[in-house]
Structure 1
Amino acid sequence: MDILTHQADGILTIAFNRPERKNAITGAMYQTMADALVAADTDSAVRAIVFTGKPEIFTAGNDLEDFMKNAPAGGKPDAARPVYQFMRALAGCSKPVIAAVSGAAIGIGTTMLMHCDMVYAADNAKFSMPFAQLGLCPEFASSVLFPAVAGYPRAAEKLLLGESFSAADALAMGMLSKVLPAEELLAYAMAQAAKLVALPAASVRATKSLMKQPLQAGIEVAIAAEIELFSAMLRAPEAKEAFTAFFEKRKPDFSKFA
């Protein structure tokens, strides 16, 4: 199974389990995670959710071959696509969500963290949002959430250049709750989840809701706008050049595009 789910002691663990492809996410994996989140949100036995990957990799982001194969026809967004279902399920989840990140978190592997409530990273973690490098735009409300957390200048540097940055940089920008040695990461995240389980569930949900409320309207508007623009840009010449270069293992040439 490319996504492993395990529920015990009030905690639902969702783990990326495709190490041979660097945990690259397919449509089927998005659907599994979306279904798990939707079910957990109404299951009183689940009081906290933990996302994790492998010690060497959290996720390389979208499986580009699968992603392009299932891209929306005509570049028009399709809200029924698994990736959109996952995005909305995570953004709207009422239960506390913790992420334990070790190794690289690329693309949506970084942007999904902005919708988690606590993010713990190993000291070997690396983050990147290379959308501009692929001829695309930010997704998943990262155009709103990242500047709100990191400040505009630092968010602009990371989103416009798409370069990777370290766990120490992410912590300094306010993206992370804590950085730990890799061998301590998962145990610490699970211990934090156990603390949440022991608290009054209604109080935890209410506290999360109140903290999220001021940004919620902006998040929904941003997601809708990003989906529309991202879908259109996916069919544009710049993205075609970027993806072709990726599969041909060469550097893309954007000089001919205005």
Structure 2
Amino acid sequence: MTDLICVSDANGVRTLRFDRADKKNAITRAMYSAMAEGLEEANTRSDIRVVVIAGSEGCFSAGNDLMDFMEAPPHIGGGETPPVERFMMALMMCEKPVIAAVDGLAVGIGTTLLLHCDLVYATERALFTTPFVNLALAPEYGSSQILPGIVGRAVASEMLLLGAKWDAKKAEAKNLINAVLPTEGFDAAVMEIAQQITQLAPGAVKTAKMLINLPPEDIKDRIVREGGLFAEQLRTDEFKEAVTAFMERRTPDFSKFG
């Protein structure tokens, strides 16, 4: 574990925060390991409903720490699992909703990790760039497939071929992020969104996230898949609580479900 990742749990939300502001939150192997551990544990804890990934004030992450990176260049899928791959898999496999809160610089994996989060919010001073080709490197973390699917091939090439820098407004316009929020009160605003999710039925949230992240399939097959899961949810105590609360004209209480 490293003290360069701050882990805090409050009211059903786990926050994983990069805390290396003097190095613009450049991520080391130890930091990747700590992030992976935080995500893996959150995935097993029924009391944690949402994970928030954040940075320091004015800087999300400058990407990989290049000195650390050069000491032990990772080979994703090459046998022994490097810390960055463990983090990548932990984020991809997390069944809880993950929200990214981007304030300031988001370079390299500071941007590509956002493609694996469920919701992404940024301040007006956020700046997104993926300068892999500029460093004589290839794109990473599925970005060569996911980003064109979000913004289109030509627009994705701005980032992945030219290493273009997108401000928050362009990132929002191109659907890289959900919304631009005011810098003042940013953390509180993101936490309010996270709290909304903690009040929902966790089983239903898990199922919805799973469906959203499935690979494309024939629409008839998807309808059948959804129908089967819908039928399963109808038999859950979560659904009973939702219906009872509706009949009693009260807010449902899903706190006892995990």
Report the TM-score, using the length of structure 1 for normalisation: 0.81
Q: Is residue 47–residue 197 contact of structure 1 (8 Å, CA) maintained in 2? A: yes
| Runs (4+) off by over 4 Å | none
Where does structure 1 lack aligned partners over 5 or more consecutive residues? Answer: 217-258
CA distance in 1, matches of 2:133, 2:78: 19
Per the alignment, residue 162 of structure 1 pairs with: 163
Q: Which amino acid aligns with 1:92?
A: M
Q: In 2 relative to 1, CA 169–43 (structure 1 residues): closer, same or farther, beyond 3 Å? A: same
- The yes-or-no answer on 1:12 pairing with 2:52 is no
| Aligned AA (1:35) | E
- How well do the aligned residues superpose, as a CA RMSD in angstroms? 1.6
Query: Residue 178 of structure 1 corresponds to which residue in structure 2?
Result: 179
Q: Distance in 1 between matches of 2:158 and 2:74?
A: 29
Q: Which sections of structure 2, spanning at least 5 residues, go unmatched?
A: 218-258
Pairwise CA distance, 1:78: 4.2
Larger relative contact order, structure 1 or 2 (CA cutoff 8 Å, min sep 6): 1
The question of 1:149 aligning with 2:153 is answered: no
* Larger radius of gyration between Structure 1 and Structure 2: 2
* The 10-residue stretch of structure 1 (30-39 or 175-184) with the greater mean CA deviation from structure 2: 175-184
Change in 2 beyond 3 A, CA 1:170/1:207 = same
Q: Which residue pairs with 2:227 in the alignment?
A: none
2:109 matched to 1:108? yes
Residues 165, 204 of structure 1: alpha-carbon distance in 2 compared, 3 angstrom cutoff: same
Deviation at 1:163, TM superposition (A): 2.0
Q: Contact conserved, 2:17 with 2:55, CA < 8 A, in 1?
A: yes
The aligned runs of 1:78-157 (5 Å cut-off) are 78-157=79-158
Q: Give 1:126 shift.
A: 0.0
Q: Are 1:64 and 2:66 an aligned pair?
A: yes
| 1:92-122 C-alpha deviation (Å, 9 max, x unpaired) | 1110000110000000000000100010000
CA–CA separation in structure 1 for the residues paired with 2:216 and 2:177? 18
Deviation at 1:185, TM superposition (A): 1.7
1:215, CA displacement in angstroms? 5.6
Q: Percent identity?
A: 44
| Aligned partners of 2:74 and 2:84 also within 8 Å | no
Aligned length: 215
**Matches of 1:144 and 1:76 in 2, distance apart?**
17
Cα drift, residue 72 of structure 1: 4.5
* Residue in 2 that maps onto 1:219: none
Give the TM-score normalised by structure 2.
0.81
